[in-house]
Amino acid sequence: MIGIRHLDRGGAFRSAGAALAAAVCLASTAAAPAGPAKPDPAPAPPVTDARVRAAVTKAIAFLYAGQADDGRFGNPHSKEYPGGGEALAALALLRAGQDPRDERLQRTLRYLDSVQPEQTYTRSLRAMVYSLLTGDARRRKLAEDVAWLLKHQQPSGGWGYGPESAMTRIAPRWTDASNTQFALLALREASDAGVPVAGQAWREALLFWRGFQNDDGGWGYQPGGGRRPPQRPGSHGSMTAAGVASYFVLADKTPSRGGGANGLRFAEPIDKGLRWLSSHYEVRRVPKYIWMPQPSQLTYYLFCLARVGDAAGAGKIGGHDYAADIAGALCARQRADGSWSGSIVDTSLALLGLQKVGAPVVIAQRRTGDRRPHRPRAAAHVARWLARALRTPAAWRDLGADEKLNPLRCPLLYLDLGADADGAKALTEDLAKFVGAGGTCLIQADGPADAGKLADRWGELLPDHRRRDLPADHPVYTLRFALEAAKRPAMIGVGDRSRTKVLILADDAAAAWNAGRFTDAADLFRLAGNCVLYAGQGRLPAGRLAPARPPGKPPPIRRSIRVARLKHAGGWDAHPGALKRLARTLAHSLSGELAEAPPTDAGERIDPSITVIWMTGDGPPKLTDRQKANLRRYLQDGGTLLIAPAGDDAAFRKAATGLLADLLGAERVGTSRPDSPLITGRFAGGIGADLTGRDAPSLRGGAVGGRIAAVLGSDALAADAAAPGARGRRARGLALNVILYAATHGQVPPVVSPRP
């Protein structure tokens, strides 16, 4: 919070706290009107990911609507802080994913290039903007802002308003928690972008924060020690959150192996600050702030609190879902025009806060036992690097040893077992369940020998999977970010025939991740980014506030449908989890049981009670004439063959297409029409899934007696059906359309009734 002079009724000057760190020096400075206190508003209802996205869209529109032709954003503090509002708005827009090449943003960037601010807030915010941009000119500007900030760091280790501030003229050595918080944020972002920051600056900043943490664990606005009494020294929410978040910055920028107490350097002051925030948790007001509270101060506090949760990888603060609470509180206060308080400053801060709490959790780091990992910031830095690389919000989670993770919420679980004498003991059945539900495990081992032991343990947990050294063309080396061949660490994979479920690092990558070496170890961060995307089937998971509840107990089963896998030499057992996921979906949606019969090789007559034969593979299927004859007879007797490719394998598809011609006759095999019941779901009373639209699947197949009897699914149908997320749901919809069509013969009343 900023000290700005106000003229009171008697004509004397007094100092008052403006909000938003004076909104980053720019918040409203009007005192709250006198009168009876208003009752507390009702608690905000739960907010959804869709509502947050809508709020972000409206906020972006409001910011652009307030932009002048020369790129400026009008606000009451433009004269005192030239460029401050523009830097804050540009930062919020860039963090929200706006393209820096957009002419509207370009106008603001050109204006920022033209000013020479002498205020800490403005220099800090502009440096954060420049850290997200490319080009030599902006790189030089970023270096200039860093040099300015380092020059104006006070002997106490903190920062004040800057040389042009009226407060600095009154108190040349003035420092406060809010200016210091933003200066540290700027230096951290500049360092991440590759601009060097001397270690002395971090060490002096540590002395500043350490010097005035209160006995209760919180922080106030200004430290004591000068000739003047400190302003607002009592612990309150916004400055305590600023202190905790700043300590995380210092832990990130001054890492040490072993990490000090409980595995994290500076763990004691961080834990004390987190306990204060937990004990005084609040999102409707700034806790313990009693100095002329104003609405804009709440926006600043929520921004700071969101930073704490993000830095800590926390699921909850004080037992509360802070992300949902902050999002709900902010959305409830957004005006119809998309703004908060009609202010560029408040709206920008709210937008930054919403981006933090709504970000998808891209990687979760799980503790083993009661201690933090010995390299506790690895996952945090992976998420931050990926957010910069993709220009989109990304978060991480720090999980306790017994805390469960839903792969729909975060498909990649990271374990650092490099310091454990017997890391294999940490691999338990619940991890196998996580993998079985569609998750992926990334594990740091303590060298090649330990990696082999971990792979053996996974073989016990997943007996139907196999291990192999990852080949040079594996997607984790190539999927989105290319790695130099010489810098690809050795890894062991454990998976089924077409997908790796467990990734074990034999070489040490976690040390570079933990130290945040974005520049000199860029290839290792590219590897981590590829692992995140590989776990998510090529995309990031849904936002943190998107629904991701695992299904509860299914309703009573009304009818059973038997399915059997077809054995052949081309990898018939690929993706064993696909049928299990299909069974869960059918049980919950239509009260039906998908009963898996023993696999058949079709060497003998196929049991006619089997409704569907499931055929998959990662290589060309080779069937004997006898097997083909039994399959043909099975189809003629009313059975259905569903061919579900395990991946985009041209050889498999060619062989499967030839098999369809052998079984049905080439003249009877064709491509599905858009109105096929397998795509529209319009059969047996309309119990199928509607898959029409731009991404409607293209199927090959043929009929027997007017009934679709054999279907070749779209690319990677088996892999997709076993996967979480939207892609998996669509694949399961297609597979179940075929199965339900077969069970109902596509025309009679449904034998599996919808739930009442």
Q: What is the CATH number of the domain that holds 345?
A: 1.50.10.20
Distance CA 451, CA 444 (A): 8
The vertex-103 CA angle with 101 and 104, nearest 5°, equals 115
Residue 63 included in any domain:
yes
Q: How sure is the predictor about 82, in pLDDT bands with cuts at 50, 70 and 90?
A: confident
Distance CA 370, CA 378 (A): 18
Mean pLDDT of 450-455: 92
Asked if the model's pLDDT at residue 617 lies above 90, the reply is no
Enumerate residues 6+ apart whose C-beta is below 8 A from 555: 587, 588, 591, 755
Q: How far apart are the first and last CA of the chain?
A: 57
Distance CA 566, CA 150 (A): 69
Residue-wise pLDDT for 416-430, tens only, equals: 886 665 677 778 888
Residue 553 included in any domain:
no
Distance CA 313, CA 403 (A): 13
Tell whether 170 and 303 lie within a shared domain: yes
Distance CA 467, CA 503 (A): 10
Containing structural domain, residue 487: 363-535
The vertex-419 CA angle with 414 and 421, nearest 5°, equals 115
Q: How sure is the predictor about 745, in pLDDT bands with cuts at 50, 70 and 90?
A: confident
Burial of 67 (0-12, 13-18, 19+ CB in 10 A): buried
CB 49 within 8 A of CB 543: yes
Tell whether 174 and 321 lie within a shared domain: yes
**Residue at a domain's end among 343, 358, 373:** 358
What is the Cβ-side half-sphere exposure of residue 488, based on CA atoms within 13 angstroms? 19
What does the DSSP 8-state code read for residue 311? Answer: H
Place of tokens 């802070």: 322
Q: What is the CATH number of the domain that holds 461?
A: 3.40.50
Tell whether 530 and 563 lie within a shared domain: no
Asked if the model's pLDDT at residue 335 lies above 70, the reply is yes
- For residue 752, what pLDDT is reported? 39
Residue-wise pLDDT for 216-250, tens only, equals: 999 999 887 666 767 888 999 999 999 999 999 99
Tell whether 627 and 725 lie within a shared domain: yes
Residue-wise pLDDT for 697-744, tens only, equals: 889 999 998 899 999 998 788 878 877 666 778 889 999 999 999 998
Asked if the model's pLDDT at residue 185 lies above 50, the reply is yes
Among residues 364, 430, 336, the alpha carbon closest in space to that of 62 is found at 336
- For residue 575, what pLDDT is reported? 81
Tell whether 98 and 154 lie within a shared domain: yes
Question: Which stretches of 448-558 are assigned E, i.e. beta strand?
Answer: 466-469, 491-495, 500-505
- For residue 641, what pLDDT is reported? 96
- For residue 614, what pLDDT is reported? 95
Asked if the model's pLDDT at residue 304 lies above 70, the reply is yes
Residue 11 included in any domain:
no
Tell whether 608 and 512 lie within a shared domain: no
Among residues 302, 303, 209, the alpha carbon closest in space to that of 251 is found at 209
- For residue 35, what pLDDT is reported? 40
Higher-pLDDT residue of 309, 580: 309
Residue-wise pLDDT for 399-417, tens only, equals: 987 787 788 789 999 998 8
**Residue at a domain's end among 477, 502, 535:** 535
The vertex-387 CA angle with 19 and 338, nearest 5°, equals 45
Residue 756 included in any domain:
no
Distance CA 335, CA 354 (A): 15
Q: How sure is the predictor about 108, in pLDDT bands with cuts at 50, 70 and 90?
A: very high
- For residue 531, what pLDDT is reported? 97
Tell whether 452 and 348 lie within a shared domain: no
- For residue 685, what pLDDT is reported? 79
Beta-carbon count within 10 A of 124 CB: 33
CB 253 within 8 A of CB 185: no
Distance CA 473, CA 515 (A): 28
Residue 196 included in any domain:
yes
Asked if the model's pLDDT at residue 300 lies above 70, the reply is yes
**pTM as predicted:** 0.80
Mean pLDDT of 455-467: 89
User: What angle in degrees, to the nearest 10, is found between the helix axes of 103-114 and 84-95?
Assistant: 140
Residue 145 included in any domain:
yes
Among residues 643, 612, 621, 645, the alpha carbon closest in space to that of 719 is found at 645
- Number of structural domains in the chain: 3
CB 84 within 8 A of CB 349: no
The fraction of the chain above a pLDDT of 90, given in percent, is: 62
Tell whether 280 and 170 lie within a shared domain: yes
Q: In whole angstroms, what separates CA 66 from the centre of its chain?
A: 31
- b or e along 150-178 (b: 16 or more beta carbons within 10 Å of the residue's beta carbon)? eebbbebbbbbbbeebebbeebeebbbbb
User: What angle in degrees, to the nearest 10, is found between the helix axes of 344-358 and 322-333?
Assistant: 150
- For residue 37, what pLDDT is reported? 44
Mean pLDDT of 118-131: 96
What's the chain's average pLDDT?
86
Asked if the model's pLDDT at residue 291 lies above 90, the reply is no
Question: Which stretches of 367-476 are assigned E, i.e. beta strand?
Answer: 395-399, 412-416, 440-444, 466-469
Q: Lowest-confidence range among 37-51, 206-220, 693-707? A: 37-51
- For residue 754, what pLDDT is reported? 36
Mean pLDDT of 590-606: 91
CB 737 within 8 A of CB 749: no
| Most confident stretch, 41-55, 494-508, 588-602, 625-639 | 625-639
Q: Which two tokens stand for residue 349?
A: 């801060």
Among residues 524, 197, 506, the alpha carbon closest in space to that of 378 is found at 524
- Using DSSP bridges, classify how beta strands 700-704 and 707-712 pair: parallel, antiparallel or unpaired: antiparallel
Beta-carbon count within 10 A of 421 CB: 8
Mean pLDDT of 280-308: 89
Mean pLDDT of 347-354: 97
Tell whether 315 and 385 lie within a shared domain: no
Distance CA 737, CA 405 (A): 30
Mean pLDDT of 41-68: 86
Write the Ramachandran bin of 592: left for phi over 0, alpha for psi from -120 to 50, otherwise beta. beta
Q: What is the CATH number of the domain that holds 639?
A: 3.40.50.12140
Residue 1 included in any domain:
no
Tell whether 346 and 457 lie within a shared domain: no
Tell whether 250 and 293 lie within a shared domain: yes
Residue-wise pLDDT for 357-373, tens only, equals: 999 999 999 887 656 67
- For residue 518, what pLDDT is reported? 94
- For residue 5, what pLDDT is reported? 24
**Residue at a domain's end among 502, 535, 568:** 535
Residue 520 included in any domain:
yes
Distance CA 558, CA 589 (A): 12
Distance CA 26, CA 22 (A): 5
Place of tokens 């054999």: 710
Asked if the model's pLDDT at residue 32 lies above 80, the reply is no
- Using DSSP bridges, classify how beta strands 2-7 and 640-643 pair: parallel, antiparallel or unpaired: unpaired
Asked if the model's pLDDT at residue 160 lies above 70, the reply is yes
Q: Lowest-confidence range among 54-68, 452-466, 603-617? A: 452-466
Mean pLDDT of 607-630: 92
Sequence letter at residue 639: G
Tell whether 599 and 721 lie within a shared domain: yes
The fraction of the chain above a pLDDT of 70, given in percent, is: 87
What does the DSSP 8-state code read for residue 424? Answer: G
Mean pLDDT of 569-595: 85
What is the Cβ-side half-sphere exposure of residue 699, based on CA atoms within 13 angstroms? 32
CB 416 within 8 A of CB 365: yes
